[in-house]
Structure 1
Amino acid sequence: MPGSRALDSLGEPFEQPLGNADPTTALEAILDRLEGRLPQAVGHRIVHGGEHFTQAALIDDTVIAAIEQTSALAPLHNPANLAGVAATRRLFPDLPQVAVFDTAFHQTLPAQAYRYAVPEALYRDHAIRRYGFHGTSHAYVSRRADALSGLEGGGWLTAHLGNGCSTCAVWKGRSLDTSMGLTPLEGLVMGTRSGDVDPGLHAHLARQLGWTLERIDTLLNRESGLLGLSGLSNDMRELEAAEAEGHAGAALAVEVFCYRIAKSLAALSCALPRLDGLVFTGGIGENSPRVREQVVALLPHFGLQLNRTVNGETVRGREGRIDAGGRQLWVIPTDEEGQIATETCQRLKETIA
């Protein structure tokens, strides 16, 4: 664990480098900064809840066992999340702890959106279906868009764009479709992840190059995306700078990235009874006027009109409406930690009630 981010005893954010500390050491460092002020509860981000969890859950041994059973669907994430849970339970054995799942927000998807066209037995016996991720982010920014716009449950397309990227169609606070699927690899081009590829690519690489499944998995998750396309970087800031200097690979990476976002948003619009607007969030979504402008330009038939001046002035940490009329365009900085805290409080109130 390279470092720890938290709020100190005055409520101010701080960052403390900890080298290769384990979760227990990191939590002890946070506790020191709290100067004896114990939290009232602990909320944990858990990436994959499968079909077990449709909302946040008060953690007990049964919940932990269910998360462990789902770890095969998120082998890089759930075990690490559970290590954090175990460390926190050791340090705070008497505090209520709540698991907040990336996948829970998307459990409202209808079958037509979450089922793959594979034999029924794979879904029934092995839970092979689309789950979606970044649920806390899509939940937060869509509800914030409702509040800012004055709409009582609008129809929003949300684009969470960072090193990991996903889009979502939200109607009256409910996720109706999203770009990620069984794993976080499906969907958009990301920092190092390929997003959608022909499913036959695995067999082709195995036959033609003799690659193992592990090698192909590494390729698609760690060596592809913006990094693979550009041959330069997975950092959009570096790619935009290189594009301005004439780097062909960087220009291609940005073009593909934006096109695939627009293509996904257009497809997800089919899920909405009415489209009220589009929300950008995440590190790239909040910080790149270039990406926002190009994505909007690729959707001219959606009635989206960008205010280029306002779009260029919008910076991270500041909410802003960037349209020039027509359907609404928003930049809303995500607050996944705040959403986790909110869902933790709601779950505890329900438990007490």
Structure 2
Amino acid sequence: MQTMILRWGTNVLALLSLILLFLIFSQKQLPDFGFLATDSMQSFKTLFISIILEAFPFVLLGVVLSALLQMFVTEQTIRRLIPKNPVLGILFACVAGLIFPLCECGMIPVIRRLMKKGMPVYIAVVFILVGPIINPVVYASTYMAFRSRPEIAYSRMALAFVVAFIIGLIVYRFFKGNPLRSSLASLSGQQMPADNAPLPSNGAAYAAGSAAPGPQTLHSHEHGHSYHPAHAHDHSHAHYDGRWGRLFGVLGHASDEFFDMGKYLMFGAMITAFIQTLVPRESLISIGQGQLGSHLFMMAFAFILSLCSTSDAFVASSFSTTFSTGSLLTFLVFGPMLDIKSMLMLLSAFRTRFVLALSAWIIAVVLVGSLLFERLFFTS
């Protein structure tokens, strides 16, 4: 982290110095920054800073809790808790975020390893989709963002549950193969050490309750996201031993996640503030109140912003006076399930055809579900 700060800081300072030298030697006047005092710019700065400050505590709480789970909760604990019955397993996975509130960055590598040990694909998909939404931190952040409308927080949890359950049933019914990429899928068929037989990828050995090869915690993986430039940091904490080692491991993981999520929050807050400031209110209302267009706009908006689920509610709340409640719900459920960064992480772990099919199911089920929720619960 220090190396990155020094590298970028040096480059920025060098660029500013060159610009200053050019202005001095060319005897040009400094540009007029009077526009920073205009009403529009004041509105932009107020909205931008307010989103950042409101979301900051929940992002910090989320990354600390995620780091603690990465360091102290074993994968075997997750495997033991999941029921063997498919429907009960899907139901458990839908609410597992209440127990294991991992961020999407940590969720996919963990689930990928569990699948190599035999976790059924339909349970793995549900874990990935619903884990970043149905957990205490996200509920608290959504409730605080919509303090005057707590029904949005309840509806977000309910719709995420319904969407994940339906998609889990779809995967269970129609997909029987191994969706892991060939290089990863081949690992599940290799001979395991000690007395553990290889676990098939279809989940049979998982359902039989086969034991894993000894204690292995969630942090004992190389949580490197080299497949996504924005996630190039490494969360490898396999060698942290002892009390102080684990403490530094938690702090290291939390700091990596905080800076990683922070840049998305900054980007999302800036884009939101620009839209709210520069786009005429009449245009926003015409888009936001469209029966279908508002939902599609919010899905695209959520996909591009790639916000963390602990902070996206504060971005959504800034549109509460211009966009319909159903479209806000679409943004809050669709974004954590499918955005740019999660799409790239899915493509790194799963076959392209499976990821495209899963994406299509997410788009269709979230869109239909949010339209139904809007018609049933938010139409006066």
TM-score for both structures, normalised by structure 1: 0.26
Q: More strand per residue: 1 or 2?
A: 1
Which of 1 and 2 has higher RCO (CA within 8 Å, sep 6+)?
Answer: 2
Structure whose residues are more often helix by fraction? 2
| TM-score (ref. length: structure 2) | 0.24
- Larger Cα-atom Rg: 2
